[in-house]
Structure 1
Amino acid sequence: MVSYKKYTYLIGALGFGLFFPCIQNFGLGKISPGKYIIFLLLMILSELQTIKINNSHFSMDFCFAYSSIFIFGPVPTALMKVLSTLICQIYYKIKNICDDHAARIIFKTGQYMISFFCAAGLYSFIKSSCVWEYPFYEIMLQSVAILVYFLLNNLLLQCFLALKYNKNVFGNVLELLLLDFSTYLMAVPFGVTTVIMHNNNGFPQALLVLAVYLAVVYIYILYIDVKSANRELTALYNMSVTITSTLDVDMVMDIVLSSVQSIVPWDTACLYVYQNGWLVPAIYEGYSNEDFNKLKLKQSQKESGFSLFKEGKIINNCHKDHRLKELYFCSDDTKSIMVVPLVTNKELIGGIVITSYKDNIYNQKHLTLLSILASQAAVALKNAQLFDETAKLAISDGLTGLYNHMYLYSELERQMEDAKTTGGIFSLIIIDVDYFKTYNDMYGHITGDTILKNLADILKKNVRDKDTLGRYGGEEFAIILPGIQPFEAMKIAERIRKVVESTPLARVGNKNIFITISAGIASYPTDAVSIEDLVNKADKAMIFGAKQKGRNKVVMFRPNMNVEN
């Protein structure tokens, strides 16, 4: 594959290579130094007045290029464009607006010459080969030449961007072509008018037309800026309305990241949340590293970039500082970074990091907009987190952190509905600590609580993520096993029993405290027809099967168990 640098120099070489044959073909033209310098200055002015739409820049200098061809000739026009590009790039370098100035000059010069001389050559060839008697034919010929210039110019540019940023930029090429074409619709009529005024009334009147054109361009740029500001403010308003309508943490973060895309350009974006002294990637886009979600930011690690979250910050030219390139959230092609913290009541709860492969792309306006968004997002995220914590407390056991009795029954209802719909099966294990009252009386309730908490930890480690584990009540626990047959549940419960039996769950003085458990198993729809029936039969299997047979056992419910219903 051709590299970005090779492509740049190839286009430059082809452009300059066409320049000399075109001198022989078109001649040097007639240059009036005074008029030429005035035209050059106006072309520079128009090239600096770029229109920025959706993170793309569109030059408005085609009006000068078009009119210059008919006033000075193709070769002087090409030379004028080269000088204009060179002067503009020097200006950008002084202002530090972009990097790799030499490569840009080479590419832009070659790009223009290739597009210009191909279009001019096609126009000259067709016009010299055919007899044109009607003005309509001239209009059609010029339209074709302009279209060739337009398409070739954009094709070369899109290839340049694709190679430079190493990503597909052709996805929105139709949208970009339409936006660029709109600038031509404005430039061409003024260019034609300029040529007519020059031929009929002289150079001063042509300058008057160009002055009007520059004024129109300036007004159009103001209109685009106002439209862009309106879009950004609308995005902020829509986010504030949408984000306050939900208390779901994941949805809040998704809305925030989507809103960022509407107001600030980026190639990678990440929303971090603060957890136990770490900033953890919660939701992100644009990162190719599959392990990015594991790259947590710690305050004591300089390479993590945690210190950047103290206040809103813009960092340009970061690719020139190896220390910044080592930051976890910087990819190899990152050139600009913007970081804003998520703060509510002076408490850091997260942050937003966006990066771009383009240099000097972020400004104070971007930082202000993102800071406003971050302040709203921080309040919404904090409210959602508080709601989530409250909701978890409502379904959690305060001692063990497991699900409580109420949630276990709601999960049993859900599993039963799923089993009825899909024809599936699930099993229920009820576990009871043997002689737990004796441990409480002998060692005290604090030791008893320690036993229950450590038992809960063992149970967590021995079930699947999709299983539901909860404290049924007192010293009883329940495990719901979706898709597990009774005999499989028997094996799981027996494995847990052996682990519990051999693991000390508390320590009093120098003495380790060991316990045993009894467990009963029942399955739906094998053993029961309702939730109450399922719980009752698992409970009976535990009480009358395991407890009455000496405890420290696992018993599966059987229809012929000798118990009273």
Structure 2
Amino acid sequence: MRRLGSWALFLLAYAAAIGYTWGHLDAWRAVGADALLAFFLLYMLISVFPIPFKNMTVTLTPVVSLATFLLYGVAVELWLTQMAILVSMLLLRFRPLERILLNLAMYAVVSITAAGAFFACGGVIGSGQSLSRLAFPMALYIGTYLLSNHLLLALLMRFWRGTWPTRNTLREFVGEMGLNALASPVGLLIYALYESLGPFTPVLFSVPLTALSFVLRMYYQLKTLHQRLEQVNRLAKMFTSQLRWEKVIDEIFRTARHLFAADCYVLFVLDAEKQVLRPLRVEGDGLSQEECQAFCARTVRLGEGVSGAAALERRALLVQRAGAAHHVEHEPASLRAMRSIVAGPMIQNGKLVGVFTLGRRITYGFTSHDKVLLEIFANQAALALENARRYEHTLAQTYVDPLTGLYNYRFFEHQLFRLFERAKEAGEPISLLIIDLDHFKRVNDTYGHEAGNEVLQAVARLLKENVRPQDIVCRYGGEEFTILFPKTDHHEARIVGERIRRKVEETPIVVHATLAEEAQPETVEIRITCSMGLASFPAHASDPLSLVRHADRALYIGGKKKGRNRLAVYDSA
């Protein structure tokens, strides 16, 4: 469909070009073969050294187009530009064919539009014209040439990639306008000198213009490379300053977006036990949250698709025309639309950590430089993830209770003071619920301490399953638990607490009675209840310690002493 559309646009543009220039074909007779060859050579030399600027490439062809147009008119300028652009794109190995067709169509329309603007304001072509009379028409010609070029480019991006240009497009247009404005006097000089020097004029200017294009090209290439390497270096510095897992992943994706122009970014991590890749995060234009979640819920076999192949071969892979074999079976439609894919294995100390994959909706969307840079970036990201993984593991050993998997008292104390200060500054409430299992000693005495541990583990699971994502569940000590409710008053916290109390009361817990005389522990189903005390800031406490003290008082005065299996708020204790 896209190829058919490209051909249709190309034919429409060429039909308009032929119709517009048909009455001016006699201008070709005024152009000698030597002049034609000289201008063609100048066009060619400038076109084969495009200047990378921001997220686009610019050339000084408007300067040559201006001189050619002023001397010979729109017919010669348009078709000479078409021939030079076609040959230069073939030399630069532009791919695919549709891209060549759309570029030719765009330049044809640009030539017609710029010529129309020139003639509309009274401009006259041919040698010997007064330069003062040409100043305004010439400025309008250059401005229209560049403006129509950018507008058409935006429409073609929408047609070809399915996205509109970014907000930086205006700055890119201003930059290209400034570059050509500085160089446009050269086009006017070619026009002025042509009357005395003849076809030698474009040959004379070919050396400085080509040198200028080459130097600017090298400058912007080196500048872009320097900026990209700075981003990688900044990522490396981040490793020592940021060790939290989620923050590291955020930084990896933020840096990737600065480094690479892509439509999707995918981070896979290796499941070493099952030897599969697990999508950890997917970002990109046009990707719905549901698609991303569905994709991340599946795994990718090593060797499957470009990402799996990069993991298996442990080297970066670049595919410029992706087919079905380069995708994985369960990719969402938005990811399957990627026609260019580059994947870099994330390797740390010879060990595969994961794969970072980029995709674009156009073919030939990445360069060999992107592939090399992605390989460097992926290895730096691997180091960041490994450091974060070790840090999280150490943190878990420090702050997580090994029996229940809940946060321990040390973490509770740290979070209590941190959240309390935040609540105080923001003027928001915070609530604390303390939970104590009723008659827990009876479980240990009747069934053994292993059964008691199983009860603690079961209750911990129930607590985690029945709180909100923002709530913090901790083991306070022994058979006591706490829940911190950020941005929650005691009325809302009581609703959650009552739900948990009923769930604990209604859920049977299977334990192994190790005190039985049989060789094999007997499996027993028991039920347990809990008492709760609730207090909140600012309703009941003004500091963290009084919040704990009042919740604890509510637990024992309003909960335990009034019959157990109940939730008491400090006010009613």
CA RMSD of superposed structures (Å)? 3.7
Corresponding residue of 2:109: 111
In the other structure, the counterpart of 2:518 is none
Which residue matches 2:377?
373
Identity %: 22
Q: CA deviation at 1:542?
A: 4.6
Q: CA offsets, 1:94-116, max 9 Å, x none?
A: x3533415632651353244235
1:307 Cα offset (Å): 0.7
SS in 1 for 2:497: helix
Letter in 1 for 2:146: F
Matched, 1:307 2:319: no
2:391 aligned with 1:387, yes or no? yes
Give the structure 2 partner of residue 433 of structure 1: 437
Letter in 1 for 2:369: K
User: Which residue in 1 is equivalent to 2:285?
Assistant: 286
Amino acid at match of 1:317: R
Q: Residues 38 and 200 of structure 2 are in contact (CA less than 8 Å); yes or no, is this contact kept in structure 1?
A: no
Equivalent residue letter for 2:532: G
Contact 2:346–2:382 (CA<8 Å) still a contact in 1? yes
Could you say which residue in structure 2 is the equivalent of 1:67? 67
Matching residue's letter, 1:246: Q
1:396, CA displacement in angstroms? 1.8
The change in CA–CA distance for 1:538 and 1:216 in structure 2 (over 3 A counts) is: closer
Decide whether the 8 Å contact of 1:29 with 1:74 is kept in 2.
Answer: no
Give the counterpart letter for 1:191 in structure 2. Answer: G
- Do 2:9 and 2:102's aligned partners in 1 also have CA atoms closer than 8 Å? no
Report deviation, 1:519. 0.6
Deviations 1:379-403 (A, max 9, x none): 1232223223323332221111112
Say if 1:15 and 1:114, in contact at 8 Å, map to a contact too: yes
Q: In the alignment, what sits opposite 2:516?
A: none
- 1:422 CA drift (Å): 6.8
Contact kept in structure 1, 2:467 and 2:496, CA below 8 Å: no
Q: Which residue of 2 aligns with 1:446?
A: 450
- State the SS of the aligned residue for 1:291: helix
Per-residue CA deviations over 1:411-432 (Å, capped at 9, x if unaligned) read 4445655666677655544333
Q: Report the AA paired with residue 47 of structure 1.
A: S
Q: 1:500 to 1:459 in 2, by over 3 A?
A: farther
TM-score w.r.t. structure 2 length?
0.82
What SS does structure 1 have at the residue aligned with 2:301? coil
Amino acid at match of 2:173: L
- Partner of residue 506 from structure 1, selected from 511, 516, 520: 511
Say if 1:448 and 1:108 are closer, same or farther in 2 by CA, change over 3 A: same
Letter aligned with residue 471 of structure 1: R
Q: Report matched runs for 1:475-490 at 5 Å.
A: 475-481=479-485, 483-485=488-490, 489=494
Query: Quick one: structure 1 residues 305 and 459, their matched pair in 2 at CA, closer, same or farther if it must change by over 3 Å?
Result: farther
CA distance 1:192–1:326, shift in 2 (3 Å): farther
Alpha-carbon distance between aligned partners in 2 of 1:372 and 1:424, rounded to the nearest angstrom: 45
- C-alpha change, 1:361 and 1:55, in structure 2 (3 Å) is farther
Correspondent of 1:162 among 158, 161, 186: 158
Q: In the alignment, is residue 261 of structure 1 matched against residue 257 of structure 2?
A: yes
TM-score of the two chains, using structure 1 as the length reference = 0.83
- 1:349 corresponds to which letter in structure 2? V
Bigger shift: residues 473-482 or 489-498: 489-498
Task: Encode CA deviations 1:340-378: one digit per residue, 9 max, x unaligned.
Answer: 122223333333222223321322221222222222222
Describe the shift of the 1:16–1:154 C-alpha distance in structure 2 as closer, same or farther (beyond 3 A). farther
**One-letter amino acid of the counterpart of residue 289, structure 1:** S
Matched, 1:40 2:45: no
Give, in whole Å, the separation in 2 of the partners of 1:481 and 1:38. 78
Q: What is residue 214 of structure 1 aligned with on the other side? A: 210
Residues 273-327 of structure 1, C-alpha deviations (whole Å, 9 max, x = no match): 4568552333634343222431225133987765144132111111x54753867
Match of 2:357 among 353, 358, 378: 353
Residue in 2 that maps onto 1:496: 501
User: In the comparison of the two structures, how many residue pairs are matched?
Assistant: 550
Cα distance in structure 2, aligned partners of 1:196 and 1:134: 9
Confirm or deny that 1:473 pairs with 2:472.
no
**Counterpart AA for 2:78:** A
How far apart, in 1, do the equivalents of 2:135 and 2:420 lie?
76
Contact 1:402 1:470 in 2 (8 A): yes
SS at match of 2:235: helix
Question: Quick check: 1:184 aligned with 2:189?
Answer: no
* 1:151 paired residue number: 147
Retained in 1: the 8 A contact 2:86–2:100? no
Q: CA deviation at 1:32?
A: 1.9
What is the CA–CA distance in structure 1 between the aligned matches of 2:572 and 2:157, rounded to whole Å?
A: 77
Equivalent positions of 1:317-336 (< 5 A) are 317-318=321-322, 320-321=323-324, 324=327, 328=331, 331=335, 333-336=337-340
SS in 1 for 2:338: coil
> 1:46–1:214: 8 Å Cα contact kept in structure 2?
yes
C-alpha displacement at 1:473, in angstroms?
Answer: 1.0
Return 462-471 or 414-423, whichever deviates more.
414-423
The aligned residue for residue 517 of structure 2 is none
Q: What SS is found at the alignment partner of 1:505?
A: strand
**8 Å contact kept, 1:429–1:479:** yes
Structure 2 residue aligned with 1:21, among 16, 20, 23?
A: 23
Q: Which moved more, 1:97-106 or 1:541-550?
A: 541-550
CA gap 1:201/1:370 in 2 versus in 1, 3 angstroms: same
**Kept in 1: contact 2:434–2:482 (CA 8 A):** yes
What is the letter of the counterpart of residue 79 of structure 2? L
Question: Match for 2:18: what amino acid?
Answer: F
Structure 1 residue 511: Cα displacement: 2.9
Q: Distance in 1 between matches of 2:150 and 2:427?
A: 59
Q: Say which SS state the counterpart of residue 30 (structure 2) adopts.
A: coil
Mapped partners of 2:147, 2:426: distance in 1: 57
Letter aligned with residue 87 of structure 2? I
The answer to which of 100-109 and 420-429 deviates more is: 420-429
Query: Counterpart of 1:556?
Result: 568
- Alpha-carbon shift at residue 549 of structure 1 (Å): 6.4
Bigger drift between 483-492 and 236-245 goes to: 483-492
> What are structure 1's unaligned runs of at least 5 residues?
none
* Conservation of the 8 A alpha-carbon contact between 1:63 and 1:187: yes
Alignment partner for residue 459 of structure 1, among 463, 469, 472? 463
Gaps of 5+ in 2: 514-520
In the alignment, what sits opposite 1:121? 119
Distance in 2 between residues matched to 1:522 and 1:542, nearest whole Å:
7
Q: How does 1:514-533 map to 2 (within 5 A)?
A: 514-524=526-536, 531-532=544-545
Task: Give the residue type in structure 2 aligned to 1:228.
Answer: T
Give the distance between the partners of 1:99 and 1:146, measured in 2 at CA: 28
Q: Residues 223 and 454 of structure 1: is their aligned pair in 2 closer, same or farther, counting only changes over 3 Å?
A: same
Q: 1:340·1:370 contact (CA, 8 Å) conserved in 2?
A: yes
Per the alignment, residue 407 of structure 1 pairs with 411
Rounded Cα–Cα distance in structure 2 between residues aligned with 1:190 and 1:528: 78
Question: What are the superposed Cα offsets for residues 257-278 of structure 1, whole Å, 9 maximum, x if unpaired?
Answer: 3332333322322334456855
Q: Give distance in 2, aligned partners of 1:287 and 1:274.
A: 26
Find 1:98's aligned residue among 81, 84, 96: 96
* Distance change (3 Å), C-alpha of 1:106 and 1:215: closer
CA shift in 2, pair 1:516/1:116, >3 Å: closer
**Alpha-carbon distance between aligned partners in 2 of 1:514 and 1:27, rounded to the nearest angstrom:** 101
Change beyond 3 A, Cα 1:12–1:410: same
